Structure 1
Amino acid sequence: MISKEVLLKSEIEVVGKISSASNATFLVKLLDGSQAVYKPVKGERPLWDFESESLGRREMAAYVFLENVDIPVPTTVWRDDLSFGPGILQSWIEIDEVLAVNIVKVSDVYPKPWINSIVGHDANDQEVALIHRDDSSLRKIALVDLVMNNADRKASHLLHSNEVWFPIDHGLTWHVDFKLRTVLWGWADLEFDPEEQKFLKRSFSVVAKDSLLDWISIEERDAALDRIETLLESNHWPSPAPSAHVLPWPIY
């Protein structure tokens, strides 16, 4: 993975635009030939429920948090001097074909390590199940999504490379209102195990530090602390509310 120093100092050459991204996202080449992703602030699509031009900063806050709780995440830096203006520059991850999530017929039998996440209907009104791997790394990613209040944990935001899961695309995080939308509902209603309780307490200590305030507001930081306290008090994974929008769109 590219070092922070290289990402901060290297000149870049724009190779192309990533058409599948919701916001303007560019594949770039660094001087040493390595590749990175560039997301300029001015390419962010306005959203009714998130402050304008705040997604890159939210992604930086997520990077600071994830790095400090030892979740593998692509190296990410903020640059003010790039072609299309300020934004984030992030290591490119070469992925393999391991999938975290799948959609199957409810009648299908899916063996371990797959577990049911949520049941719904497809475009043909057929009952289907959204399933995902029962994997300890994915479970920890789901836990940090609770802390960050991730409103956009799509299947495509879970990258697998060299036996490691990398969570990406954290622009829709840290909102003061509960916004969780995720494909990882398979552990709903389970009790947190002792390691998860310990991890949440560690997360509280990390979030409480002022380093996140470089990127998000004090109200957003304090809301995250309140979420962690609520999770520790309940000692259970939350379950999807029947009347709420609990899945990202699109799923992938």
Structure 2
Amino acid sequence: MISEGQPGGIDGEVLRRGELTVLGRIRSASNATFLCEAHLDDHETHCVYKPVAGEAPLWDFPDGTLAGREYAAYLVSAALGWDIVPYTIIRDGPAGSGMVQLWVDQPGDALDDDPDAGPDLVDLVPAGKVPPGYLPILQAYDYAGDEVTLVHADDIRLRRMAVFDVLINNADRKGGHILSGVDGRVHGVDHGVSLHSEDKLRTVLWGWAGKPVDDETLAQVAILRDDIRSGLGEALGEHVTGREIEALLARTVALLNDPVMPTPDRHRPIPWPAF
């Protein structure tokens, strides 16, 4: 029998207990990433599966830790209460243990052909033509050699995601890692290179750099701080090091003591490619 009272609801229980069937590989991902279907009784749901065995080695992150970092990022997101990271677990799958995350259904591609649809939440627009409600990030040239501006929406959902990225020290917030769901929510995915103890923040969400953080957001950050000092810190310790948990706690305290968003004053502050 399936219960709706568990984390992730019915889909979450299907994810935890259901049989995973691989539908195909997501080729755009740098690590082995699969679209799967989870089946349990008469229920099914789509999900993303990233086996630890398919993780490419990185020079600055320990081997075999990316799946755990994805799950740890979900735990931080859940503690903040912002529903940024889709429901995520660690479980066995067809290629061994790995991260399994609920799939985010997005509007159909037909919207991309609508000239009145407007830019995406993160987009490139012609230089000098930043749309109302958008914040410019940097000037660049597209593949045709035309000057363009990287922009993102001045949207509270993105602003919270920017704060979240500061807290988890996200080294890879690309525009393509920001998903607009059909339910109106905005989710962030691909957090395998996060929670390092050294400063590695790389993001396209620099529109609020140097701006104050609002009191409502700070109240949630304070809750996260307290959670890290209690049960959350222990849960995170199964997936990241003690030093990395101390660094996460230090980032929450630093933001509460000086509630201003950081500025991109470090080397390569934007991931490449940006999408």
The correspondence for 2:58, drawn from 42, 47, 57, is 47
Structure 2 residue ranges without an equivalent (≥5):
1-7, 112-118
Name the CA distance, whole Å, in 2 between partners of 1:125 and 1:232: 43
RMSD: 1.8
User: What aligned pairs does 1:94-133 form with structure 2 within 5 A after superposition?
Assistant: 94-96=105-107, 99-112=120-133, 114-122=134-142, 127-133=147-153
For 1:75, the equivalent position in structure 2 comes to 87
SS state at 1:34 partner: strand
Match of 2:71 in 1: 60
Report how far residue 200 of structure 1 moved: 2.1
Query: Is the Cα contact below 8 Å between 1:69 and 1:206 reproduced in 2?
Result: no
Deviations 1:206-235 (A, max 9, x none): 333322112111110001111122222322
Residue 135 of structure 1, aligned match among 144, 147, 155: 155
Find the aligned partners of 2:145 and 2:257 in 1 and give their Cα distance: 39
CA contact (8 A) 1:41 1:86 kept: yes
Q: Identical aligned pairs, as a percentage?
A: 38
Task: Give the 5 Å matches for 1:138-157.
Answer: 138-157=158-177
Contact 2:130 2:149 in 1 (8 A): no
Task: Provide the TM-score with structure 2 as the length reference.
Answer: 0.85
Matched, 1:174 2:198: no
2:114 counterpart residue number: none
2:211 to 190, 196, 210: 190
Tell me, yes or no, if structure 1 residue 11 matches structure 2 residue 34: no
Counterpart selection for 1:38 from 46, 49, 61 = 49
Shift of 1:14: 1.0
User: For 1:197-216, what aligned pairs fall within 5 Å after superposition?
Assistant: 197-208=218-229, 209=232, 210-216=234-240
Aligned-pair distance for 1:203? 2.1
Q: What is the CA distance between 1:125 and its match in structure 2? A: 6.1
**Which residue is equivalent to 1:160?**
180
Q: Match of 2:248?
A: 224
Q: Displacement of 1:159 after TM fit?
A: 0.8
Residue 145 of structure 1: how far off its partner (Å): 0.6
Give the equivalent residue in structure 1 for 2:115. none
TM-score normalised by the chain length of structure 1: 0.92
Partner of 2:3: none
